Structure 1
């Protein structure tokens, strides 16, 4: 290991000024992106930075501006589901694209346990990020309450139950679920069940509500099974349970594409043809929808745009702009394929 005497000296702003032949003040204005610097001076400073290998002291700048230059993206899902769910990936990419354009760093944090919740809440209190975007927040969510209690700029993807007057971006899950269930019924299905998930958050509750509205008096609570996550494993267990309750079931609304894809696999294993004997529809229009055989009829939700809008809203708050807490609702549409 190199000693302090042998370790290469880090270039300073004085070195940049000397190499550029300009004052330290001019160099500082260029580095901090301030106005009133000539194009020639800007070019000279940029060339000198490369020449001397100068790296800005971000920590010192953050102390001066009281900004970290980072935004946290908090995902409330098990680690395995974080990797499995294409929607989460699309939201992350959308968020990062907007933050990157604004020269902000995205910090992704996965909450998989109560211990994670406590750790992440402490992290937010430490001032390491300027804002936070929260995905999949649950009812009585400690992270959401911590963020709103600290008055840190925060945006929720979805509207968690129990939190009022928050900034959020989402979709109309009730309307979307109702519409695709009605279309499934229009194919002549008589015994339609649902594999419901995530009933501790708004998306799961609203998709079940939309399904129930579509069925009206035909709604049978015995044909609804509930599981905690939008996962393939939930679909496997849920479809087996539905078949055990009613072997003559001829239609299934799955609360996510991963669940729907698993349901089709179970139906095939039980010798039931999709869609000839059982029609199946999902929700998300994710990679699962195209992976499934047959491909899924599903609700297309704009996952990447959700991330982009969330990032824009948190940046507006960081800048001090006033934000309407009525929420931003993005449009969905039905993508109809062979599974129904």
Structure 2
């Protein structure tokens, strides 16, 4: 049986540094009233003896977990499929890591998940939350408000009160890319409108309606539940059945657009020859499409970073900052 090396303790650090255990504890817990010389000696001793702080014990003392939750209110399958979620996660993790905080990823798929997470938030296991894809009337949003947790939302559900949020102008961007599609001479333009139960989906539909103006035909709007390839394909099939003369489509995400393009290929329609199609996100889906997809660039990693920075500022006792709105330009490629 191999002997396990004994884990270094605060006592070992204190002996090596020539200070009391109380002084070591003050340094570990970020407390003042420690001289620069003592602090330097303790840091050198920690490195020499290989001391690893026990964060669980530190959390009890500091009443802080040093963790921030990222709550994604989406189906498990979409969490894996949607590259925007991954980019938000990585952007948030980078900012939290720089501040020595741990990211805890929490997925709310079913109503049971939502209720379980609402209870979890009250357990003191995380110091704040970043919420992605919240709906109006979301139980998680209500739990965050009830507990007074430092929070930042990615997007802007209309019922989050004065909570911090980071977002893009979904409506303005949807209006811009639909207008660009119309400029190519398309006359029968429809939309596959996803996720209408959250602000991003509803705002993208509103932008499409703005751009279409008097040319709008409500029969050419097909709603689908999620920003997914499979729902994009099904939505496109529905549109083609109702309007076989369709010659332009705004898909409310790149994944939806990719699914729509697959349905068009199966129906014998060429892109952009027969049907011009545009998406939204400028994710990896856009470049995997053939031809490459015209879309709106959504800076998902920056959204995640800005949300994390908002939560960290609140944890430092700073007031909730003004909403962060990031640029989302049109990126024009061959699909339209």
- State the shift of 1:8 in Å: 6.5
Q: Output the aligned Cα RMSD.
A: 1.9
Work out the CA distance in 2 between the residues paired with 1:13 and 1:309: 36
- State the shift of 1:103 in Å: 0.6
Deviations 1:8-36 (A, max 9, x none): 65432111111233333443343334556
Residue 199 of structure 2 is aligned to residue 202 of structure 1: yes
Secondary structure of residue in 2 paired with 1:273: coil
Work out the CA distance in 1 between the residues paired with 2:48 and 2:162: 51
Work out the CA distance in 1 between the residues paired with 2:44 and 2:241: 72
Work out the CA distance in 1 between the residues paired with 2:63 and 2:45: 28
Aligned to 1:306: 303
Residue 267 of structure 2 is aligned to residue 251 of structure 1: no
Work out the CA distance in 2 between the residues paired with 1:221 and 1:36: 68
> What does 1:87-102 align with in structure 2 at a 5 Å threshold?
87-102=84-99
Aligned to 1:330: 326
The TM-score, its normalising length taken from structure 1, stands at 0.94
Contact between 1:140 and 1:161, CA under 8 Å: does it hold in 2? no
Contact between 2:29 and 2:62, CA under 8 Å: does it hold in 1? no
- State the shift of 1:42 in Å: 4.2
Aligned to 1:215: 212
Contact between 1:194 and 1:253, CA under 8 Å: does it hold in 2? yes
Aligned length, in residue pairs: 336
Gaps of 5+ in 2: none
Work out the CA distance in 1 between the residues paired with 2:271 and 2:23: 70
Gaps of 5+ in 1: none
The TM-score, its normalising length taken from structure 2, stands at 0.95
Contact between 1:161 and 1:201, CA under 8 Å: does it hold in 2? no
> What does 1:1-340 align with in structure 2 at a 5 Å threshold?
10-34=7-31, 41-324=38-321, 327-340=323-336
Secondary structure of residue in 2 paired with 1:112: coil
- State the shift of 1:43 in Å: 4.7
Deviations 1:105-128 (A, max 9, x none): 100000001110111111100111
Work out the CA distance in 1 between the residues paired with 2:42 and 2:248: 67
